[in-house]
Chain A
Amino acid sequence: MSEKIRYGFYSGCCFQGADERFFQILQDVFAKVDVELELIVDAVCCGSGVIEERSELTSLAVNAKNMAHAEQMGLPLYTPCSTCYNVIANAQKRMQEDPAVHAQVNEILAEQGLEYKGTCKITHTLWVFAQDVGLDKLKERITNPLNGLRVASYYGCHTRNPADIQGYESADNPTSLEDILEVLGVQIVDYDTKDDCCGYHLAWPNNKLNMQMTSNVLEGAHTKDVDMLVTSCPLCFKSMDGTQAKALAQTGKNFQLPVLFLPELVGLACGMSAEDMMLRYHGVPVNIRL
């Protein structure tokens, strides 16, 4: 039995309601590749970049608190959510660049006996699989290679932009998602809209535009005759699976395209069943017989 890789698990806000199942799914899939998640208990919501619209300092302080807890646990902070990754990494960068802000944030945290040292490492599902676990080990654990499945890969925006929030791979030509998918055995299909934004964060301020953007991305993939679209971002997943029917109806399109969250597909390739992955909860039915 090889050694476990451990992370401080920052859950974010997206796994509420029907998506609560992903807590379990993530832990089960990670267990297959010897990864252990330890919940950061005292964490709070990162504010998804919206708190900045009221007060930037609040957002920095709240996310410094999240990182400070991970530092106390002595573990890297892992978040499955791309937006949480973006916001927390951005806060980290901002405080690195401006020591005066860092000092002020620590002054605020000091009242709770917390200190954000700035040493916290932040990571995302993509790099847990592609780099920490490694593609070789992932390959060993695959018992059900998904050969021949035509898949459109979709990163979403928040693990890629801006370029300097991550040091794991090239921002203009990221390959981690495709590397993982290739190991799973699928055939990756290139499509025009893969770099476009799904507009999830417009769901509240401008829903109509959100639907249009989601529909654009889906249509780009659909025209390439893919079996499914796979995304590493749980919010893109919500947008493209949960609201797909509405988006396509509003934009006058008539098709359906199954969308999978990356850990689900990894789980299936590692021999877990559609029942284990709770695929029945998807908005768009997923009919995999592989």
Chain B
Amino acid sequence: MNATITPDRKSILANIRIQRFTPGEHKSAFYDNFKVNVETGMTVLEVLRLIKNTQDSSLTFRAFCRSKICGSCSVRVNGKPLLACSTQLMPILDDFKQESVIIQPMRNMPVLRDLVVDIDPVIEKLAKMHPYIMENRGRIPETLEQESLMSRQELTKFDYITDCILCGSCYSACSAASADPNYAGPLTLGKAYRFSADVRDSFKGERMQAAVDQGLWSCAQCRKCINVCPKDTRPAISIQRLRKMSIDDGIHDTPGSRRAKAYTDDVAKYGQVNKPMLPVIVNGPKGWAAIEAADNYLIKHGIEPTHQVCTLDGQSSTQKIYAKVKELESRGENKT
């Protein structure tokens, strides 16, 4: 009828490759291929259900609300973690210009069966992060009739994370979490920031300790978590803010906080990060070993080592920018 509101409907006979695995029964994971007529508008979950109903009733996956709110149906399609219920398959087929997709369970979590993973290890890490509010007595109203109100500005500091549904997509995408099983992961640190930034809370100190212990400085800021989050909760940004919070609170004795100080000060001083001397700035005297190793590397390749930073010309005006920002921030007038 109306071409502008009715999308072009098309249908592709696609090959859906699904990773199958039942611990104890199969020696390793393997792939099953299913031919499905994928139509415009079909979600990944609809395709999975169609396969289960018409082709193989033993196919196992988890799904509940079908409304992008319970977070139970996350799977990986062509490697990217997403919610099966809220993602249409046709745009993915178009994007990859292929008539097949691979559906796998999420990464970094043990597989229970087929596409179902055990998210408990992640929830256990979250539990260690004190993900709850401990009352801030200064914010408790005088009478029972009054409410503990928050200003819009106070709320915007963390309201974007309250949408997190613990689907685990960010945890699945995180390379640091796969390389280090002790690392808390993006959603856990995001939640730690959410509660620490809440003005009604008074438990920031304990939570900060938990965050530092569980890898506040183990995030590489690759930002994949921002890309995959179905609710746009931007965990990497929360991690940056949690790091700032920890430094503002006086936790200066981590290599990460020393790096943050070094980068910030160097840019004002030289317009550039002082890379040659960074090992000593970050790691103290033992950093000299790294500098000597770097020097030897240069000498081996016939380059004269220098400990001079290559200054960039913009540095003089940068100092004025820093002063102005500092002035705004000290008055609490910064709009960030």
Chain A residues in the interface with B (C-beta under 8 A): 11, 13, 16-18, 20, 41-45, 47-58, 60-62, 65-66, 69, 86, 98, 100-101, 104, 108-109, 111-112, 114, 157-158, 160-163, 170-173, 195-197, 199-202, 204-206, 209-210, 212-213, 216, 242, 280-281, 283
Contacts of B318 in A (CB 8 A): 44, 62, 65
CB distance from B232 to the nearest CB of A (A): 9
Please, how many angstroms separate the alpha-carbon atoms of A75 and B118 in the complex? 51
Contact for A161 among B79, B223, B260, CB less than 8 A: B223
Q: Give Cα A161 to B325, complex, Å.
A: 28
A204 and B259 within 8 A (CB): yes
Inter-subunit contact B227/A163 (CB<8 Å): yes
Q: How many residues on chain B are close to A (CB under 8 Å)? A: 72
State in angstroms the CA–CA spacing of A281 and B301 once bound together: 6
A173-B78, A173-B96, A204-B256 known; A162+B247 contact, CB < 8 A = no
A62 near B267: Cβ-Cβ < 8 Å: yes
CB within 8 Å for A213 and B176 given contacts A44-B318, A50-B260, A280-B301: yes
In contact, A205 and B254 (Cβ under 8 angstroms): yes
User: Which residues from chain B contact A98 at a C-beta distance below 8 Å?
Assistant: 335
Q: Which residue of A has the minimal Cβ distance to B298?
A: A18
Which residue of B264, B312, B313, B335 contacts A101 across the interface (Cβ within 8 Å)?
A: B335
Cβ of B272: which chain A residues have Cβ within 8 Å of it? 13, 16, 44-45
Which residues does B use to contact A, with CB under 8 Å? 78-80, 92, 95-96, 175-176, 178-180, 183, 215, 217-218, 220-224, 226-227, 234, 240, 243-244, 247, 254-261, 263-264, 266-267, 271-273, 275-276, 278, 282-283, 294, 297-298, 301, 303, 305-306, 309-310, 312-315, 317-318, 320-322, 324-325, 328-329, 334-336
- With both beta carbons as reference points, the residue of chain B lying nearest to A213 in the complex is identified as B179
Bound form: Cα–Cα A92–B176 in Å: 27
Task: For the complex formed, measure the closest distance between the CB of B13 and the CB atoms of chain A, giving whole angstroms.
Answer: 21
Q: A43-B313, A54-B247 are in contact. List 20 more A-B contacts (CB 8 A).
A: A17-B306, A18-B297, A45-B271, A45-B312, A50-B259, A53-B243, A53-B257, A55-B244, A55-B325, A65-B314, A101-B336, A104-B328, A112-B317, A157-B224, A161-B226, A171-B227, A195-B79, A199-B179, A199-B220, A204-B258
Counting chain A CB atoms within 10 Å of each CB, the highest count among B255, B267, B294 belongs to: B267
